[in-house]
Amino acid sequence: MKTWAVMNSRPANSLRRRVAELLVVRASGHLSDQQRRYPQWELPNSELQRLLWEGVGGVILLGGSAVELQQRTKQLQGWSEQRLLVCADVEEGVGQRFEGASWLVPPLALGRLHQREPELALDLSERYGRCTGEQAHRCGLNWVLGPVCDVNNNPANPVINVRAWGEDPNTASALTLAFQRGLKQAGVLGCAKHFPGHGDTTSDSHLDLPVLPHSRERLEQIELPPFQAAITAGVESVMTAHLVLPELDPQQPATLSKAVLTDLLRRQMRFNGLVVTDALVMEAISARHGAAEAAVLAFEAGTDLILMPADADAAIDGLCDGFNSGRLCLSRLDESLQRRAHALASIPTSTATGPIVSADEQALEAELVRHSITVGEAKVLPQAGINLVRVDAMVPSAAALSGWSPALRTPEAQGFRSIVLHGEGLSPWSGQADAPLAMDRLGDGAVLLQLFLRGNPFRAGRDAQEPWAAAIQQLIALNRLAGVVVYGSPYLWDSLKPLLPSSCPAAYSAGQMQEAQRQVLTELFPSATPTGNSGAFTD
């Protein structure tokens, strides 16, 4: 740890300080080090304070409440002598990451609505973007890492999935543009990601290096149109994808490829804004390159900003060595810093005032849910039974469930006993292959099955392999299926719905948040009056 005197003596225009401006480091949204959820990625405050004082130009935040985020962003800005880029992955509203703000339905819900009611979907998408941008601004964020421009034309995609705005390029283009218009109205920067398209992969770049084996002609038909539309509309930044496109560059992933970032994105698609890497701590990069070399390769390929290097000091050292040796061109450093300054100058510096969630925004949350649920005509009857809930342990699914959640309280008020399955899914309750539920362990009574599964990153698609179809068939054969609710994945719902008899109460909700639970279960139960605390137990 350097002393304040040493740090304060650093020349303002030193190469190291200028290079440091290119970095965006990870921090917790909580004020205290002890509250960090992911200390392996989130720097302690002492390191943050030093790096920001030494010139690091950006911070990406996760965790905490929206009110705490307001304090945190002011604290971080106070540790820097320059205006920071302060961002978060709030693709589904600020409440997706920070409690107390609006958590909105996944974008793919509007992609499917667009097939039925395009004008309504466009209007809602623009309001979605404005809500996200204005709440981000109120909390001190100036850069939203969205929209996701990937076309999720592969239902088996384990990393994009419901994060995409569409399953075809026309829908994805139209809705991402509407979302971006909303961000612009709110005065925050947007980010089109993950270039040149992560929607048709079957592996997760958080864990592996996906390959997209398509021709240039196919890319121009499916993957590239939403990005080109966003660029033409003036999106301020583009985030790279950690995947290999052999037809463009058989050696390097897009994040490290000059053919992809300089030749395709800059020259052919004429993007002049900020190019930012996806997080360099992701296994697709970090398993193959050290922090210094990854940063140098990314900058050499054409990126401007280095997001979440595995080691910030090593990344800065590596870049400085690259400039000093002549491997990297100093004029490129000037260009990147000018792009950064231009982007920040395009948005207001003033802090927004007022409540974090306005009445109109609260109404939007409910309206989005209303347009993204499907409920059958059959109702769940009050009875002594089991409320079997499968919830992914990953954020945001886990945040959807607490002792006060309608998914627990509403069935309990109707006589059901709650059992919540977390990370291992059905494994602790498994029976035979063709009868995966060990009924003697579950106990007596009909089973209401609620599945909170949505294709979260880091899961490598494991959720999709759980035998819920067999479990439903087992319950039907035993005449013990009280009802089925799927929250999140439309692909899971599409696969399970044909198995259900018309007399079976069933519902689908794209959203997993408590407002979605409330609306679905109010429709599904004839007299939903949730009272009392949850008596759920977990496994």
Alpha-carbon gap, residue 130 to 181, rounded angstroms: 8
Question: Tokens representing 1?
Answer: 């740890």
Alpha-carbon gap, residue 126 to 368, rounded angstroms: 12
Identify whether the C-beta of residue 175 lies closer than 8 Å to the C-beta of residue 146: no
Identify whether the C-beta of residue 299 lies closer than 8 Å to the C-beta of residue 258: no
Alpha-carbon gap, residue 164 to 225, rounded angstroms: 14
Task: Write b or e for each residue in 427-456: b if 16 or more Cβ atoms lie within 10 A of its Cβ, otherwise e.
Answer: eebbbeeebbbebeebeebbbbbbbbbbbb
Task: Show the CA angle centred on residue 157, arms to residues 154 and 160, nearest 5°.
Answer: 105
Identify whether the C-beta of residue 95 lies closer than 8 Å to the C-beta of residue 103: yes
Q: Give the start-end residues of each E strand in 21-160.
A: 23-28, 58-62, 85-88, 143-144
CA proximity to 214, closest of 205, 226, 204, 223? 223
342 three-state secondary structure = helix
What are residue 166's DSSP bridge partners? Answer: 151
The single residue of 150, 200, 204, 278 carrying the catalytic annotation is 278
Question: Tokens representing 227?
Answer: 């990005």
Identify whether the C-beta of residue 447 lies closer than 8 Å to the C-beta of residue 385: yes
Active site residue 206: yes
- Tokens 């705490």 correspond to what residue? 68
345 three-state secondary structure = helix
* Residues counted in the chain: 539
Question: Is the four-CA dihedral 86, 161, 498, 435 of positive or negative sign?
Answer: negative
Question: Tokens representing 429?
Answer: 């309750």
The single residue of 114, 137, 206, 242 carrying the catalytic annotation is 206
Question: Tokens representing 464?
Answer: 């999709």
Residues 6 or more apart from 45 whose CB is under 8 A from it? 33
Measured between alpha carbons, how far is residue 320 from residues 40, 91, 94 in Å? 25, 33, 35
Written as one string, the DSSP assignment of 86-122 is: EEE--TT-GGGTSBTS--PPPHHHHHHHHHH-HHHHH
Residue 391, exposed/middle/buried by CB under 10 A (0-12, 13-18, 19+)? buried
Say what angle helices 359-370 and 118-139 make with each other, to 10 degrees.
140
Identify whether the C-beta of residue 489 lies closer than 8 Å to the C-beta of residue 453: yes
> Which amino acid appears at position 154 of this protein?
N
What kind and span of H or E run contains 431?
Answer: strand 430-432
Active site residue 278: yes
Instruction: Give the catalytic positions in this structure.
Output: 206, 278
